[in-house]
Amino acid sequence: MSRTVGRSDRRTEKATHRVAVIAGDGIGPEVIEAAIPIIERAAGKHGVALAWERLPYGADHYLKTGETLPEKAFRKLRDDTDAIFLGAIGDPRVPGNEHARDILLGLRFKLDLYINFRPVRLLHPDLTPLRSDGRTVGQSDRNIDFVIFRENTEGVYLGRGRVEGQTYIAEEINTARGVERIIRAAFEWARTHGKTRVTMSDKSNAVPAHRVWQEQFKAVAAAHAGIEAEHRYVDALAMDLVRKPERFQVIVTNNLYGDILSDLGAGLVGGLGFAASANLHPGRAGLFEPVHGSAPPLAGKGVANPVAAVLTGALMLEQLGHAEPARALERAVKETLAAGVRSPDAGGTATTRDVAAAIIDRI
């Protein structure tokens, strides 16, 4: 089934898509370089040409030059790129994480990529830590398949606030326009993908500003008859996601809750090594990145799971208008997992290269 959000962007059958690569920090370069030949193979088999251009931004570059993401590079990403493929940003040598604020959050904000689309899908039954009734762990017949629409340009992430003596104040920004557009994106995706329920999550019982989520949700839901609009406070949703994840189809929530729930979602389906994401504004170049970070303890060991990066490539191809190679990537990943080729985070002994080789063999 197509997973495209909005109109497929920059869809031109014969054109070469320009993909800017920011491999970033820690395991970022390992998973990105493992994934690129796989994505390249799937694209090539379906007549899709990709031109990869590697950019040096990340902690090393920042520590060497003081540059996070220079304005010239930003303009190139904005004006002359069809997609950005990013590994992870975060390095213990940059404890304030200021380079991530400029590169990762900076791109989300400045490109106005208001949709952070994060699918949660069980790729093999024994990857979930949940059990089914009457079954033991690892023998699940669960069908977990939902997507999180995480608002990506507002909330506490804007970093607004101040320090007054010993009081540290963080402001959470929720605009009617920002809330409306992410909720609308979730309903539109539900409508075009045959989904029957959208779950909005906030904390309006404790945070007065979340009234805007209630108001906008009601208004957008009213325009989407036929799709059940349900609400869960985020604390209760966290519990229900563990207890009965298969009842959820589309979840829409704010920036911070979406961040937390997407790692919870990853945990339900095998961990961060399997979680892909796309930062989107329909009609513009998107930013595609695994949900996971730079995993500093794993960096340089060659054991990081490349599946999240490969599935992120599938989201990228899909958004560029190429559903067939996207499906081919997902199929190859599933077959690889079914064959038992797994990295240590998924209980196996395969290296990053082993997993990548097994996937590419199946394309």
Choices 100-108, 217-225, 243-251, 322-330; region in contact with ligand IPM by CB under 6 A: 100-108
CB of 259 to ligand NAD, least distance (A): 8
Rounded Cα distance, 144 and 139, in Å: 14
Residue 308 near ligand NAD by CB under 6 A: yes
Tokens of 265: 């979602």
In the block, tokens 């009609």 appear at 283
| Furthest CA-CA distance within the chain | 61
Strand pairing partners for 250? 147, 198
CB of 87 to ligand NAD, least distance (A): 7
CB of 50 to ligand IPM, least distance (A): 23
Q: List, as one string, the DSSP characters of 214-282.
A: HHHHHHHHHT-TTSEEEEEEHHHHHHHHHH-GGG--EEEE-HHHHHHHHHHHHHHTT-GGG-EEEEE-T
Residue 90 near ligand IPM by CB under 6 A: yes
Rounded Cα distance, 21 and 43, in Å: 16
Rounded Cα distance, 326 and 319, in Å: 9
Residue 100 near ligand IPM by CB under 6 A: yes
Rounded Cα distance, 117 and 186, in Å: 9
Cβ–Cβ < 8 Å for 180, 222 = no
Interface pattern 250-279 for ligand NAD (x via CB under 6 A): ----------------------xx------
Residue 309 near ligand IPM by CB under 6 A: no
C-alpha distance across the termini of the chain, in Å: 19
Answer for which of 22, 84, 291, 311 binds ligand IPM (CB under 6 A) is: 291
Q: Which residue is closest to Mn ion by CB?
A: 259
Q: Which of 158, 357 has the CB closer to ligand IPM?
A: 158
Please give the single-letter amino acid code of residue 186. A
CB of 8 to ligand NAD, least distance (A): 24
Residue 103 near ligand IPM by CB under 6 A: no
Give me the residues that bind Mn ion (CB under 5 A), please: 259
Residue 298 near ligand NAD by CB under 6 A: yes
Q: Which of residues 5-64 bind ligand NAD (CB under 6 A)?
A: 27, 31
Cβ–Cβ < 8 Å for 32, 113 = no
Rounded Cα distance, 110 and 23, in Å: 20
Residue 261 near ligand IPM by CB under 6 A: no
Residue 280 near ligand IPM by CB under 6 A: no
Q: Which of 109, 187 has the CB closer to ligand IPM?
A: 109
Rounded Cα distance, 258 and 115, in Å: 11
Cβ–Cβ < 8 Å for 113, 274 = no
CB of 267 to ligand NAD, least distance (A): 10
The torsion region of residue 97 among left (phi > 0), alpha (psi -120 to 50) and beta comes to left
Choices 13-21, 293-301, 312-320, 354-362; region in contact with ligand NAD by CB under 6 A: 293-301
Q: Which residue is closest to ligand IPM by CB?
A: 259
List residues near ligand IPM by CB under 6 A: 90, 100, 104-105, 259, 291, 293
